[in-house]
Amino acid sequence: QVQLQESGPGLVKPSETLSLTCTVSGGSISNYYWSWIRQPPGKALEWIGYIYYSGTTKYNPSLKSRVTITVDTSKNQFTLNLRSVTAADTAVYYCAKGSYTEDYWGQGTLATVSS
């Protein structure tokens, strides 16, 4: 059974970079797509982007200028970097397995943007 766990700072200052890592256990990161999805408090899910284990990425056009997703197959991890954050980026961030269908999800981590 694949398990995913998000990690990273819970508090980020405005204009700085939000960095989160997702560690995959119970299976290899190879041969699959991996996604980041976020959910502002009380709001709907929003797709951020995905990465293939080989490094190919696709991002939400609305966030593309600020997002980078990378993968480290040796550590079975993938990472989200979101630059120039504002209060509007405050959300629970989920990592998940899949590209257009996410079949396994992490528990989520709340990232708050505040000075």
Partner 1 sequence: QSVLTQPPSVSAAPGQKVSISCSGSSSNIGNNYVSWYQQLPGTAPKLLIYDDNKRPSGIPDRFSGSKSGTSATLGITGLQTGDEADYYCGTWDSSLSALLFGGGTKLTVL
From the CB of 25, what's the least distance to partner 1, in Å?
Answer: 16
Residue 107 within binding range of partner 1, rule CB under 8 A: yes
* Pair 74, 47: CB distance under 8 Å: no
From the CB of 16, what's the least distance to partner 1, in Å?
Answer: 25
DSSP letter at 89 equals G
Residue 106 within binding range of partner 1, rule CB under 8 A: yes
Q: How would you classify residue 14: left for phi > 0, otherwise alpha for psi between -120 and 50, otherwise beta?
A: beta
Residue 1 or residue 115: which is nearer to partner 1 going by CB? 1
Which positions from 47 through 86 interact with partner 1, judged by CB under 8 A? 47, 50, 58, 60-62
Residue 43 or residue 115: which is nearer to partner 1 going by CB? 43
19 burial (CB, 10 Å; 0-12 / 13-18 / 19+) is middle
Out of 77, 80, 89, 102, the residue judged to bind partner 1 by CB under 8 A: 102
CA–CA separation, 103 and 88 (whole Å): 27
